A and B are shown apart, each in its own frame.
Chain A
Amino acid sequence: AQSVSQHNHHVILSEAASLELGCNYSYGGTVNLFWYVQYPGQHLQLLLKYFSGDPLVKGIKGFEAEFIKSKFSFNLRKPSVQWSDTAEYFCAVNKVNNAGNMLTFGGGTRLMVKP
C-alpha cells in the first residue's frame, strides 16, 4: 500500500531560521504531491502542489518544495521562518493512475517558531 512518511513530528525554530521538513512516499508510479498547512484554529489549506514540469515548486508565504523522483521525496523548505508560520504541516500524495482523486497523507509535522 502507498504510504507517506514525515520524519519530523515536532520542530522548534527561532525566527529567521531556515526550515526543511522531510516527506517521503512509497509509491513507484506517477504521483501528484502536495503540502497542506493547518494554522492554529484554522482549516487545512493547500500550501503548494507539484503535478509535472519544474521539480522546484513555489507556494504561498515564501514556501517551496523540491520533488526528487529518485529519492521519492518532496521536502518543504523556507529560508527564513516567521512566528506566523507556527502550524502543522502535512505532506500528501495522489496516485495519478488512481481512478479517483484520493490523497494519502503523512502524519504531519508540528512547527513552533519562537519569536
Chain B
Amino acid sequence: ETGVTQTPRHLVMGMTNKKSLKCEQHLGHNAMYWYKQSAKKPLELMFVYNFKEQTENNSVPSRFSPECPNSSHLFLHLHTLQPEDSALYLCASSLKTSGYNEQFFGPGTRLTVL
C-alpha cells in the first residue's frame, strides 16, 4: 500500500461503545494529523503529532483520545460519543510540522453514532 490508509472506512457505533480508528502512512513522514469533516462545516483540525509527540490539541473533548505509537501509525480512540460526533474523520501526514510541508490525506473513516 502507498500513501495514507485508514481503517475502518465506515463505522457505526452506539453512544456506550468503545472503538478505535487507525491511520497508517507509508511515506516516511514524521508528522500526523486528525481532522474532522462534518456536514456543512469546514474541515477542523483535531490533533497534531510530530515525531510521536502531541503538539496540538484543538480543544477536542476528552471522549476522543489520540495515540501515536510511532511516526507511521496514529489512532483515535473513541468512547461515549454523542450523535453530533458523526462525521468523516480524516488522517493526514507531512514530512514535519515546522515550516510548510504538503499534507497528504487518507480516505477517511465515515463514523455514525447512534
B-binding residues in A (CB < 8 A): 4, 32, 36, 42-46, 49, 51, 90, 92, 94, 96, 99-108
Contact = CB atoms under 8 A, between A and B. Distances in A.
B97 interface: yes
Contacts, number: 56
A69 to B, nearest CB: 17
Contacts of B98: 99-101
Given A43-B105, A43-B106, A43-B107, A101 B99 contact: yes
How extensive is the interface on chain B, given as a class? 20 to 34
Given A36-B105, A43-B108, 13 more contacts: A43-B4, A43-B107, A44-B92, A96-B100, A99-B98, A100-B50, A100-B55, A100-B98, A101-B31, A101-B94, A101-B98, A102-B45, A103-B103
Interface of B: 3-4, 31, 40-45, 48, 50, 55-56, 90, 92, 94, 96-103, 105-108
Contacts of A44: 90, 92, 105
A101 B99 CA distance: 6
A1 to B, nearest CB: 11
A32 B55 contact: no
